[in-house]
């Protein structure tokens, strides 16, 4: 049976907390997996959550803390004294501790660090705080297994046992020389089956070792781990000294955030804004896109006003304005989205992209012919065949233009190192609107005469 959080459980728990019914709480809550306990704490008041939290052992506390919803965790930490925060940090992996500490003020960071009892842990955390969040250094943790290349297997096992307490998840042992320079990797499986007297030097993998530099960007880390199918990757400094490791689960979070970013760009929400930000801040984060659209709309108004004569003469011309702009926008977005996706997948050589442009033009041609024929019928019935010709010829031209422009625009942005996803947002639909209107009314003028 998989755990499911119910309103009933929460209600019951609340009364049991009020009654301080420890036996019930132990059996029904503390026995659960830490991710489930965290899920429960997310729904309680801070005082209730605190009560439960301090009932569990220190290791589980650390696990629960990292699983809490970010808002809830911030609220929880804000209610602790610096000494209490320091105690919590000592149980965390160094990367998690640094992340939590990084959100506090300079002054509070100093206070918390000075209250930590484990000097080595404190030092690791301070060291990690020096790295930018979106670099390998910002993602890595200081806990990992390392073995000297000169050790025999039995010595390695003894030494690793000492390191074991700190390292929660082990996938690999990093092999280093006397100067802590990374030489290679040894799988736990290999070590398990090796003879006690065998030297590490004889069994570790020294070729084709993949590592990242602490200064590498998170993007590079994600690409390297994906490309080489790694569950953990060693991090080295400029002298190739081993300084940390990054595990796949941390990178998964990063990959998801990146995908979210493209989605947000495409939908016009530049949202690094917290979900608990003020209405004013959310509103401000969306306004830029809307102002772009409004400026576009105003230019569009100017374009139409230049053809005021046409509208006075043939008011039916106005009927199909929304159709022309909507179609141009949709076709443009479809084409740019395809290009953005293939750029995100790493298609960088133009050799592969040029055929795509040609393909998009063909698709535009095909869809343009089909839809233009359809709208010719509609507009002819609606008004007369003369308007049918104006609308269908315009629609065809607009579709073809939008397909080509929608393909080229993200490519151009990319060439100038601007995020191509920007092309899918309001910016391009707006541009397509303006050009579409111009095409529509020009063709109208051509056919109807001035």
Burial label, 390 (beta-carbon count in 10 A; 0-12, 13-18, 19+) = buried
Task: Could you list the beta-strand ranges (E) of 188-272.
Answer: 212-213, 232-236, 242-247
Q: Give the relative orientation of helices 119-129 and 82-91 as an angle to the nearest 10 degrees.
A: 90
Residue 364 Cβ vs a copy of itself, minimum distance, rounded to whole Å: 9
Name the residue nearer to a copy of itself (CB basis): 104 or 293: 293
Pairing verdict, β 172-176 and 145-148: parallel
Name the residue nearer to a copy of itself (CB basis): 88 or 310: 310
Residue 357 Cβ vs a copy of itself, minimum distance, rounded to whole Å: 13
Residue 42 Cβ vs a copy of itself, minimum distance, rounded to whole Å: 10
Residue 110 Cβ vs a copy of itself, minimum distance, rounded to whole Å: 31
Name the residue nearer to a copy of itself (CB basis): 118 or 253: 253
**Are 387 and 379 within 8 A, CB to CB?**
yes
**Cα–Cα distance, 209 to 216 (Å, whole number):** 16
**Are 142 and 128 within 8 A, CB to CB?**
yes
Name the residue nearer to a copy of itself (CB basis): 86 or 399: 399
Torsion of CA 26, 27, 33, 36, to 10 degrees: -80
Question: 131-135 — which CB contacts under 8 Å span 24+ positions?
Answer: 131/214, 133/102, 133/218, 134/217, 134/218, 134/219, 134/254, 135/214, 135/215, 135/216, 135/217, 135/218
Output the CA–CA distances (angstroms, integers) from residue 11 to 16, 30, 51, 56, in the order listed: 9, 16, 16, 21
What is the per-residue burial (b if ≥16 Cβ within 10 Å, else e) of 181-201? Answer: ebbbbbeeebbeebeeeebbe
Residue 85 Cβ vs a copy of itself, minimum distance, rounded to whole Å: 23
Q: Give the relative orientation of helices 58-67 and 82-91 as an angle to the nearest 10 degrees.
A: 100
Which residues, listed in sequence order, are joined to residue 55 by a DSSP beta bridge?
A: none
Name the residue nearer to a copy of itself (CB basis): 263 or 354: 263
Residue 268 Cβ vs a copy of itself, minimum distance, rounded to whole Å: 5
Residue 97 Cβ vs a copy of itself, minimum distance, rounded to whole Å: 17
Residue 308 Cβ vs a copy of itself, minimum distance, rounded to whole Å: 5
Residue 218 Cβ vs a copy of itself, minimum distance, rounded to whole Å: 15
Burial label, 395 (beta-carbon count in 10 A; 0-12, 13-18, 19+) = buried
Name the residue nearer to a copy of itself (CB basis): 150 or 283: 283
Name the residue nearer to a copy of itself (CB basis): 37 or 89: 37
Name the residue nearer to a copy of itself (CB basis): 20 or 279: 279
Name the residue nearer to a copy of itself (CB basis): 19 or 31: 31
Output the CA–CA distances (angstroms, integers) from residue 17 to 45, 56, 116, in the order listed: 11, 14, 31
């Amino acid at each position: 049976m998989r755990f499911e959080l119910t309103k009933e459980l929460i209600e019951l728990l609340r009364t049991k907390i009020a009654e301080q019914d420890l036996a019930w709480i132990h059996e029904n809550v503390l026995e659960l997996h830490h991710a489930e306990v965290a899920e429960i704490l997310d729904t309680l008041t801070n005082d209730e959550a605190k009560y439960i939290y301090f009932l569990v052992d220190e290791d589980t506390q650390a696990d629960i803390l990292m699983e809490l919803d970010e808002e809830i965790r911030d609220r929880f930490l804000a209610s602790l004294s610096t000494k209490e925060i320091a105690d919590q940090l000592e149980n965390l992996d160094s990367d998690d501790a640094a992340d939590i500490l990084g959100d506090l003020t300079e002054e509070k960071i100093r206070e918390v660090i000075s209250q930590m009892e484990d000097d080595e842990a404190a030092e690791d955390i301070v060291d990690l705080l020096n790295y930018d969040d979106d670099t390998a250094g910002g993602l890595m943790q200081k806990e990992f297994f390392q073995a000297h290349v000169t050790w025999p297997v039995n010595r390695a096992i003894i030494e690793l046992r000492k390191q074991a307490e700190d390292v929660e998840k082990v996938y690999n042992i990093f092999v280093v020389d006397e100067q802590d320079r990374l030489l290679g990797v040894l799988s736990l499986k290999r070590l398990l089956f090796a003879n006690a007297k065998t030297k590490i030097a004889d069994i570790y993998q020294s070729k084709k070792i993949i590592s990242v530099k602490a200064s590498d960007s998170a993007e590079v880390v994600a690409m390297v781990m994906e490309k080489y199918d790694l569950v953990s990757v060693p991090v080295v400094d400029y002298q190739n000294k081993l300084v940390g490791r990054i595990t796949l689960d941390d990178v998964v979070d990063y990959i998801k955030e990146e995908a979210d970013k493209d989605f947000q760009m495409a939908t016009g929400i530049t949202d690094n804004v917290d979900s608990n930000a003020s209405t004013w801040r959310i509103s401000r984060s969306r306004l830029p896109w809307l102002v772009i659209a409004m400026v576009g709309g105003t230019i569009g108004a100017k374009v139409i006003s230049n053809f005021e004569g046409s509208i006075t003469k043939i008011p039916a011309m106005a009927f199909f304005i929304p159709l022309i702009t909507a179609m141009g926008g949709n076709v443009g977005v479809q084409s740019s989205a395809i290009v953005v996706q293939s750029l995100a997948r790493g298609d960088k050589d133009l050799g592969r992209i040029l055929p795509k442009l040609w393909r998009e033009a063909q698709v535009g041609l095909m869809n343009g012919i089909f839809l233009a024929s359809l709208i010719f019928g509609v507009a002819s019935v609606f008004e007369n065949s003369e308007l049918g010709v104006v609308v269908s010829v315009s629609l065809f031209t607009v579709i073809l233009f939008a397909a080509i422009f929608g393909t080229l625009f993200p490519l151009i942005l990319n060439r100038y190192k601007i995020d191509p996803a920007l092309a899918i947002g309001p910016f391009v639909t707006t541009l397509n609107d303006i050009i579409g209107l111009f095409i529509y009314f020009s063709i109208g003028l051509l056919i109807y005469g001035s």
